[in-house]
């Protein structure tokens, strides 16, 4: 098929792959740009009847597998049946498949920036797609037997390639892998590391061989390297791995060539802590060495022995796919703490609220819940404690929420998380490294640069988000201010009415006093007037403070609306990790191409370029933080955050005081009205005993006065001499008045004490 370039309207684009048994060529239609991947068996007479039967069955099997995560087959255009006849000496069926333009997973893992594993969003998508495809195959009793990154292709949808529009599909369902022993060995070249151990030492095996391969792929896409002594051949690592326990998911060599077992994946990865814990439990199931237990629930064991009579055995169930689906269904909220420059994450459910999230963040960052501001890029609003976290969860975002300390933007004492290999090279910068140790160092150093670059990007986005949130905060404060201002206006209107009422009352009483009329019964109104004066005085203080607050809020709102985009962009243009990343990329690529990497693996050498890279990365981080802390826009954000926080407290206190004064004023008006109407009641009726009246300013009583007549005509003459009975009656009434006066004084003292206990918080006035 090499000499064929044109087939009808189809143009040969390029060779996609050539294995020991067949070749795959990409063909493109010249009119509609349709693309097809066509696979042809390249052998002819060498094939036996068994070979032909196997090829045909494999092709038919793939054509019958209709699943979104298994590469689909297409009908071969008629023109190819004729033109490819001479390029198909075996005359076996030609396989026509859909073309996946994203390459294969091995190409993704071979990228230098994948040396520390892939991002969690991508890891989740790969595991979801592969798990779905493998579950489908196993449900139809199909075992792939050669699952590896090279056999996972990326089908990219329209638009830019990202985790959202990439579908991962399995290809090569084991074509002719069991033709004969020579073919088996040939087809396994370069892929032995992904084969389950029983394929080497046992003549029989089950579909659990796919579980092992799936587990290895999962570990590699998370960490960028395989879990079991990746620098050794299977004959070397299998005896060691055979001794591992069920919980061990990683076996590696230390710097000094010691063999270590681990129950955790390598710390140099890009996945969240909760997802890491979940996937480690799954890997224990997938990477179980015993094929009879692999992929099944533990500690149940599979046994093929007939149980004794009267006894039953506990059978185990395959759980690997359902367990993975359960893990991938978990919702994990990813938060970036701007203050501590750290990525943190937590598993949530539909009922988790922001207050619970804050309590978790406090444990990891030591930032008190009251000092935390949690903000989403979707709304730029400081989220309230009662809101549900699920509202801000997205499946494809690496940072879903930002958390800030209201008292400081960035903690300049936050230390970076440095891989052990990087720490060692910085401490022993002239140390010698063999191939294995140098490989670990280069991989971890590049990972360190990438992780610092991710933190820097999140930090810049976090600062921008904070600036936008302060704009929203100022707008919300203006709304609260206007609402409180309206209430304060209503309070002032009430005060004006009461002031007029009390002034009129005071003037009337002063007139009575000047004429020495009714001066013995003025105590009740005096207390009311005093309470009114206190409320008016407090309201005036509140109004003065409110005017000052309005000026402060307007100034803060103006500064928050100025924005920091230009200053932030200028800073990013001056300080960024792009040059550092480019340098790390070159150093890592150069190392892969060196003789030390490919030939002289037994020698030891120094690695000065990678030591310098790690040192420069730490130096850049320190410089960025120092420069950022003194940038005017960061200082402005800090001042605005503090100012708006104070204004928020003042508005809340002012609103509370306004409501309290309004309630007190309403009560005072009711009391004042009660005094007035009580006095009017006395005026319009004959009182048997003045002492029975609650309040009174009556100097004399009018009885049946006629208009136009003299008042003296209706006066009753009073004799100069009083009878003994009249004197006794006056004395008794005097005693009653004195007793009532004493009771009234006691009541006034009690009310005075109660009023003194009422606290009005005006501490903000001194700010």
Does residue 110 sit within a domain? yes
Pair 378, 240 in one domain? no
CB 425 within 8 A of CB 607: yes
Torsion from C-alpha of 574, 576, 581, 587, nearest 10 degrees: 50
- My answer on whether 602 and 671 are in the same domain is yes
User: Which CATH number does the domain housing residue 380 bear?
Assistant: 3.10.20.90
Quick check: is 767 in a domain? Answer: no
For residues 470-499, average pLDDT: 91
Q: Beta-carbon neighbour count of residue 674 at 10 Å?
A: 14
User: Which of the residue ranges 15-24, 59-68, 152-161, 357-366 has the most confident prediction, judged by mean pLDDT?
Assistant: 357-366
DSSP letters for 69-118:
TBPPB-PPPHHHHHHTSTT-TT-PPPEEEE--TT-BHHHHHTSGGGTT--
Q: What mean pLDDT comes out for the span 596-618?
A: 84
Cite the DSSP H helix spans in 684-723.
Answer: none
pLDDT confidence of residue 743: 76
DSSP lists the bridge partners of residue 262 as: 250
pLDDT-derived band at 77, boundaries 50, 70, 90: confident
Domain match, 298 and 360 both:
no
Concatenated DSSP letters for 119-159? BHHHHHHHHHHHHHHHHHHHHTT---S---GGGEEEEE-SS
Q: Alpha-carbon distance 25 to 36, whole Å? A: 8
Are 495 and 568 in a shared domain?
Answer: yes
Q: How many residues does the chain have?
A: 767
Which pLDDT score, from 0 to 100, does residue 750 have? 75
Counting residues of the chain whose pLDDT is more than 70, the rounded percentage is 83
- Could you tell me whether strands 6-7 and 10-18 are parallel, antiparallel, or unpaired per DSSP bridges? antiparallel
The CATH number that applies at residue 630 is 1.20.1270
Average pLDDT over residues 650-659: 92
Residue 213 has pLDDT above 90, yes or no: yes
Span 491-515, average pLDDT? 83
Q: Are residues 641 and 662 in the same domain?
A: yes
- Residues 128, 131, 135, 137, Cα dihedral to 10°: 110
Verify that 369 and 426 share a domain, yes or no. Answer: no
Residues 252 and 350 in one domain: no
Q: What is the dihedral of CA 194, 195, 197, 203, to 10 degrees?
A: 180
The pTM (predicted TM-score) of the whole model is 0.79
Average pLDDT, the chain: 83
Question: Which range has the worst mean pLDDT, 61-65, 160-164, 645-649, 757-761?
Answer: 757-761
Q: Rounded to an integer, what distance in angstroms lies between the CA atom of residue 162 and that of residue 166?
A: 6
**407, 431, 460: which is the final residue of a domain?**
407
Beta-carbon count within 10 A of 218 CB? 24
Residue 599 pLDDT class (50, 70, 90 cuts): low
Q: Is residue 709 part of a domain?
A: no
Instruction: Tell me if 265 sits within 8 A of 219, measured CB to CB.
Output: yes
Same-domain pairing of 403 and 417: no
- Looking at the domain assignment, is residue 715 inside a domain? no
In the annotation, is 382 catalytic? Answer: no
Same domain? For 209 and 138 the reply is yes
**Which stretch of DSSP H or E encloses residue 22?**
strand 22-29
- E strands present in 442-541: none
What's the helix, strand, coil split of the chain in %, to 5? 55, 10, 35
What are the angstrom distances between the C-alpha of 411 and each of 333, 415, 418? 23, 10, 18
Same domain membership, residue 463 and residue 354: no
**Quick one: 605 and 534 in the same domain?**
yes
Q: Which of 407, 440, 473 is the last residue of a domain?
A: 407
Beta strand 95-98 with 152-156: parallel, antiparallel or unpaired? unpaired
Residue predicted with more confidence, 404 or 763 = 404
Q: What is the mean pLDDT of the segment spanning 464-487?
A: 92
Q: What is the mean pLDDT of residues 241-268?
A: 93
Q: Which of 182-186, 380-384, 611-615 has the lowest mean pLDDT?
A: 182-186
Domain that holds residue 223: 104-302+316-329
Q: Is the pLDDT of residue 670 over 70?
A: yes
Q: Is residue 713 part of a domain?
A: no
Q: Number of folded domains in the chain? A: 5
User: Same domain for 403 and 448?
Assistant: no
CATH number at residue 72: 3.30.200.20
Name the pLDDT band for 498 (thresholds 50, 70, 90): confident
| Separate counts of helices (H) and strands (E) for the chain | 20, 13
Give 175's contacts (C-beta < 8 A, 6+ positions apart).
21, 22, 55, 58, 59
Determine which one of 129, 146, 411, 664 is catalytic. 146
The C-alpha atoms of residue 227 and residue 286 are separated, in whole angstroms, by 12
Q: Is residue 310 part of a domain?
A: no
Residue 260 has pLDDT above 90, yes or no: yes
- Residue 711 within a domain: no
End-of-domain residue from the set 64, 81, 99: 99
Kindly state the helix (H) or strand (E) to which residue 332 belongs, with its residue range.
strand 331-337
Q: Is residue 552 part of a domain?
A: yes
Per-residue pLDDT of 154-207, as tens digits, reads: 998 876 666 678 999 998 775 434 333 333 333 333 368 888 888 888 777 788
Question: What was the pLDDT predicted at 308?
Answer: 54
The per-residue pLDDT for range 690-726, each reduced to its tens digit, is 444 444 444 334 444 455 555 455 455 545 544 556 5
138-141 contacts: CB < 8 A, separation 24 or more?
Answer: 138/207, 138/210, 138/321, 140/65, 141/207
């Amino acid at each position: 098929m090499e000499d064929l370039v044109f087939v009808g309207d189809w143009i040969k684009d390029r060779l996609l792959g050539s294995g020991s048994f067949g070749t795959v060529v990409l063909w493109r239609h010249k009119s509609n740009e349709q693309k097809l991947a066509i696979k042809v068996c390249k052998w002819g007479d060498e094939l036996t009847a068994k070979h032909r039967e196997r090829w045909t069955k494999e092709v038919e099997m793939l054509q019958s597998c209709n699943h979104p995560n298994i590469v689909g087959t297409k009908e071969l255009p008629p023109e190819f049946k004729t033109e490819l006849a001479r390029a198909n000496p075996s005359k076996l069926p030609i396989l026509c498949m859909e073309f996946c333009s994203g390459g294969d997973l091995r190409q993704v893992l071979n990228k230098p920036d994948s040396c520390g594993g892939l991002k969690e969003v991508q890891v989740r998508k790969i595991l979801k797609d592969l798990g779905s495809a493998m579950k489908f195959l196993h449900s139809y009793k199909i075992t792939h037997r050669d699952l590896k990154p090279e056999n996972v292709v990326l089908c990219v949808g329209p638009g830019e390639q990202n985790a959202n529009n990439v579908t991962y599909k399995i290809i090569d369902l084991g074509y002719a892998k069991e033709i004969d022993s020579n073919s088996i060995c040939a087809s396994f070249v370069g892929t032995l590391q992904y084969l389950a151990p029983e394929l080497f030492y046992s003549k029989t095996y089950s579909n659990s061989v796919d579980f092992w391969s799936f587990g290895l792929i999962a570990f590699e896409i998370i960490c960028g390297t395989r879990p079991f002594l990746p620098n050794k051949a299977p004959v070397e690592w299998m005896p060691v791995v055979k001794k591992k326990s069920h919980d061990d998911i990683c076996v590696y060599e230390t710097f000094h060539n010691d063999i270590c077992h681990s129950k955790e994946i390598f710390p140099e990865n890009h996945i969240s802590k909760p997802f890491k814990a979940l996937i480690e439990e799954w890997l224990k199931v997938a990477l179980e060495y015993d094929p009879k237990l692999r992929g099944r629930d533990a500690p149940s064991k599979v046994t093929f022995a007939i149980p004794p009579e009267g006894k039953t055995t506990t059978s185990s169930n395959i759980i690997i796919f359902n367990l993975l689906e359960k893990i991938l269904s978990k919702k994990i909220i990813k938060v970036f703490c701007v203050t501590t420059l750290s990525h943190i994450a937590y598993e949530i459910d539909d009922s988790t609220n922001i207050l619970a999230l804050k309590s978790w963040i406090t444990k990891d960052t030591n930032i008190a819940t009251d000092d935390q501001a949690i903000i989403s890029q979707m709304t730029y609003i400081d989220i309230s404690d009662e809101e549900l976290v699920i509202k801000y969860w997205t499946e494809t975002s690496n940072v879903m929420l930002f958390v800030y300390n209201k008292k400081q933007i960035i903690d300049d004492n936050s230390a970076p998380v440095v891989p052990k290999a990087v720490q060692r090279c910085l401490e022993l910068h002239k140390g010698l490294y063999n191939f294995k140790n140098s490989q670990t160092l280069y991989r971890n150093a590049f990972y360190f640069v990438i992780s610092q670059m991710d933190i820097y990007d999140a930090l810049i986005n976090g600062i921008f988000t904070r600036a936008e949130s302060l704009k929203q905060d100022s707008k919300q404060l203006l709304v609260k201010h206007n609402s409180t201002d309206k209430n304060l206006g209503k309070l002032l209107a009430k005060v004006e009415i009461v002031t007029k009422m009390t002034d009129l009352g005071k003037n009337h009483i002063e007139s009575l006093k000047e004429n020495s009329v009714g001066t013995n019964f003025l105590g009740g109104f005096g207390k009311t007037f005093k309470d009114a004066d206190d409320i008016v005085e407090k309201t005036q203080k509140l109004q003065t403070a409110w005017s000052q607050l309005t000026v402060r809020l307007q100034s803060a709102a103006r500064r928050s609306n100025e924005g920091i985009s230009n200053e932030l962009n200028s800073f990013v243009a001056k300080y960024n990790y792009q040059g550092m990343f480019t340098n790390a990329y070159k150093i890592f690529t150069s190392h892969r191409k060196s003789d030390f990497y490919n030939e002289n693996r037994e020698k030891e050498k120094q690695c000065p370029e990678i030591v310098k890279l790690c040192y420069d990365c730490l130096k850049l981080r320190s410089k960025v933080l120092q420069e950022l802390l003194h940038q005017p826009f960061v200082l402005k954000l800090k001042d605005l955050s503090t100012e708006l926080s104070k204004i928020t407290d003042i508005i809340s206190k002012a609103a509370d005081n306004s409501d309290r004064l309004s309630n007190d004023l309403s009560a005072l008006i009711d009391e004042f009205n009660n005094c007035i109407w009580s006095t009017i009641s006395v005026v319009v009726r004959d009182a048997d005993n003045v002492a029975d009246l609650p309040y009174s300013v009556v100097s004399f009583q009018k009885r049946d006065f006629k208009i136009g007549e003299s008042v003296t005509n209706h006066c009753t003459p009073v004799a100069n001499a009083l009878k003994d009975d009249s004197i006794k009656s006056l004395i008794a009434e005097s005693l009653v008045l004195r007793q009532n006066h004493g009771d009234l004084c006691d009541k006034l003292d009690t009310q005075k004490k109660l009023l003194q206990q009422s606290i009005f918080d005006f501490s903000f006035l001194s700010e």
